[in-house]
Amino acid sequence: MTVISPLIDKLITALRQLPGVGQKTAQRMAFQLLERNREGALSLADALQQACQRVGRCQRCRTFSETDICRLCEDVRRQDSGLLCVVETPADVLAIEQTSQYQGLYFVLMGHLSPLDGIGPEDIGLDNLAERFAGGAINEVILATNPTVEGEATAHYIADIARQYRVKASRIAHGVPVGGELEYVDQTTLTHAFSGRKSLE
């Protein structure tokens, strides 16, 4: 339905691509940008294009990165820590970084094991992860997958691999609400979850 302008209709439709944005919110966003903040709208357009075109994946930890190796992987102090934290998504890395409590490396699965959906170990990079364990620089892998059925299963699967390479495996404490998603947890809870981590057998 075109009411005022096809371009505004197109903008409203495009804004609904954003998670959690329905028709009314998209309308409000479109009009507010056009009325009061066209400069902000153009900077958003530019940021979207730049990010989509130039953000790829770190070759070492698989997180989003605009360089071959991300800043976290290139940090010598993190490399020397001997700690590797396994998470499901880049958003989880950001959530953990914002606690400022963890100073080790990451490995980002970009998902979790899900046999019913045909997602096996290689789809989430576990062959690469095994190579990292074999490399000998990792003393402890901290399993920070989501506290869901799939996240738990993935954590235990990785703990089994770690055991083969004599790498200690730990799971973040269940201070995080079971069934929830890691990136929504507040920083204090996440900090406690890290400090209260337990060795996985």
Question: Which stretches of the chain bind its own copies, using CB under 8 A?
Answer: 2-8, 10-11, 13-15, 17-20, 25, 27-35, 37-38, 40-52, 54-55, 63-66, 70-72, 89-91, 93-94, 97-98, 110, 183
Retrieve residue 1's tokens.
Answer: 């339905």
Q: Which is nearer to Zn ion, 73 or 162 (CB)?
A: 73
Query: Is residue 81 within 8 Å of residue 125, measured between CB atoms?
Result: no
Retrieve residue 35's tokens.
Answer: 């009325």
Q: Which is nearer to its own copies, 180 or 196 (CB)?
A: 180
Q: Which is nearer to Zn ion, 57 or 156 (CB)?
A: 57
The answer to whether residue 158 forms part of the interface with Zn ion (CB under 5 A) is no
Q: Which is nearer to its own copies, 64 or 165 (CB)?
A: 64
Burial code (b: 16+ CB inside 10 Å, e: under 16) for 110-126 equals: bbbbeeeeebebebbbb
Q: Which does 33 bind (CB under 5 to 8 A by kind): its own copies, Zn ion, none?
A: its own copies
Smallest gap, in angstroms, from Cβ of residue 102 to Zn ion?
A: 14
Q: Which does 118 bind (CB under 5 to 8 A by kind): its own copies, Zn ion, none?
A: none
d(CA 154, CA 180): 16
Query: Is residue 142 within 8 Å of residue 172, measured between CB atoms?
Result: yes
The DSSP annotation for 52-89 comes to: HHH-EE-TTT-SEESSSS-HHHH-HHHHHH-EEEEESS
Q: Which does 94 bind (CB under 5 to 8 A by kind): Zn ion, its own copies, none?
A: its own copies
List the interface residues with Zn ion, window 43-62 (CB under 5 A). Answer: 58, 60-61
Smallest gap, in angstroms, from Cβ of residue 49 to its own copies?
A: 5
List the interface residues with Zn ion, window 66-85 (CB under 5 A). Answer: 70, 73
Smallest gap, in angstroms, from Cβ of residue 59 to its own copies?
A: 14
d(CA 58, CA 62): 5
Strands 64-65 and 56-57: antiparallel
